[in-house]
Chain A
Amino acid sequence: MAKVFIYPTTSLILSDLVARFGHQPLSAALQVREKIQTAGLESPPLQITPEDPKKGLKYAAVEVPSGVRGRMSLYGPMIEEAEAAVIIHDADFSFGCMGCARTNELIQFLLRKREIPILDIRYPRSDDEGVEFVAAIRKFLQDLPGGGA
């Protein structure tokens, strides 16, 4: 079972397909869950504290907006952990918590820099594309270490 970074990290379709084919999807929910289940000082809504943009400094320079660095404190560790990635390119801008274009560019850059297997794809817009979409993801996941179902 490989750890597969999904982009958008909030994607229902990718999260389901990666788990369905026997791998572990690395989604934003896992990091958010860890944050909100850890006791500390109250910092609603996501329990992002002033410490998190500091952790984000590992991935983005200090002059980069704190929003990018705060987001990278969630996504950065998952990128480091990932053994593969599936990227959907035409996700809507207002897609859940992925609404920061600069963070999104940085995520894709860091993924490519890691030189892990990456599947680039876009959302299906017809039945035929749906079949190819699912088949491509299955084939990609089957070729990863750990096989998939």
Chain B
Amino acid sequence: MKEYRPRYVGTVTKYVFVESPDMTPSDLAIRAYEISLGVMIKETCFGLQITGNQEEVHQIVARLREFDPAHIFVKDRGFPPGDPRRCRANLGGARPGYYGHEFEISLIRYVSKGIEELPGRAPDQAVHPPRAAGLARLDAKKLQKIIESQES
């Protein structure tokens, strides 16, 4: 086993996804570079990755969100951009985790709609969240009754 020397210690990396009819990832990247404060910004096909100290990254993300609040989404990333263990340039295929993003991005327009509609909604209005349908498994008590009915 080799010694492991981590890079970018003490930094945070955030993904910024943009799924907007009014803004492309390159538009967002240009605006991010303008306010970058020296942090590392990488433009991607879906948005940006921002790496730097926590406070600066937090400020930039807050500013970027203002451009299109309902269509810009942010999450943490464990690895810094270009890390050979995750970068597809080294792996020869989609980055692990890409499929999860791809799946959620396909649904994110509904979430954007929800965020847009939220201010017009009364705070005390009842909510009816989408619930998962119950599992189609046989209930244990019901199974026991069936067994008992057959035995008697």
Q: Which residues of A contact B (CB under 8 A)?
A: 8, 10-13, 15-17, 19-20, 25, 27-33, 35-47, 89-92, 94-98, 119-127, 129-139
Which 8 A-B pairs give the minimum distances between C-beta atoms? A32-B78, A130-B110, A134-B114, A136-B129, A96-B100, A89-B132, A29-B76, A15-B75
Chain B contact residues, CB within 8 Å of chain A: 1-6, 8-13, 15, 17, 73-79, 83, 85-86, 96-97, 99-101, 103-105, 107-115, 117-118, 121, 125, 127-132
Measured CA separation A39–B76 after assembly (Å): 21
A-B CB contact pairs (8 Å), 6 listed = A12-B104, A29-B76, A33-B12, A96-B101, A123-B107, A127-B110
CB within 8 Å: A-B pair count: 164
Provide the bound-state CA to CA distance between A22 and B118, in Å: 15
User: Cβ of A16 and Cβ of B75 under 8 Å apart?
Assistant: yes
**A44 proximity list for chain B (CB < 8 A):** 85
B6 contact from A13, A16, A39, A98, Cβ within 8 A: A39
A135–B4 CB distance below 8 A:
no
Which A residues are CB-close (under 8 A) to B127? 132, 135-136, 139
> B7 → chain A, closest Cβ, in Å?
9
Q: Is the interface of A mostly helix, strand, loop or mixed?
A: mixed
* Nearest CB of chain A from residue B2's CB, rounded to whole Å: 4
**Are the C-beta atoms of A41 and B1 separated by less than 8 Å?**
yes
Closest to A31 in B: B78
Contact B131–A125 (Cβ < 8 Å) = no
- CB-CB < 8 A to A37: which residues of B? 6, 8-11
B107 and A41 contact, CB distance less than 8 A = no
Residues in A with CB closer than 8 Å to B131 are 120-122
B10 neighbours in A (Cβ, 8 Å) = 37
A131 to B78, CA, bound (A): 30
Give the residues in chain A near B17, CB-CB below 8 Å: 12
Check B76–A30 contact: CB distance below 8 A.
yes
A8 touches B100 (CB 8 A): yes
A135 & B9 in contact (Cβ 8 Å cutoff): no
| Docked CA distance A20–B78 (Å) | 20
B110 near A125 (CB under 8 angstroms)?
yes
Chain A: which residue is nearest B118 at the CB level? Answer: A134
| CA distance in complex: A123, B86 (Å) | 27
Q: Decide: B3 and A42 in contact? CB cutoff 8 A.
A: yes
Q: Which one, B73, B103, B130, contacts A122 given CB within 8 A?
A: B130
A95-B3 in contact (CB<8A): no
Known contacts A13-B104, A97-B97; A27/B75 CB under 8 A = yes
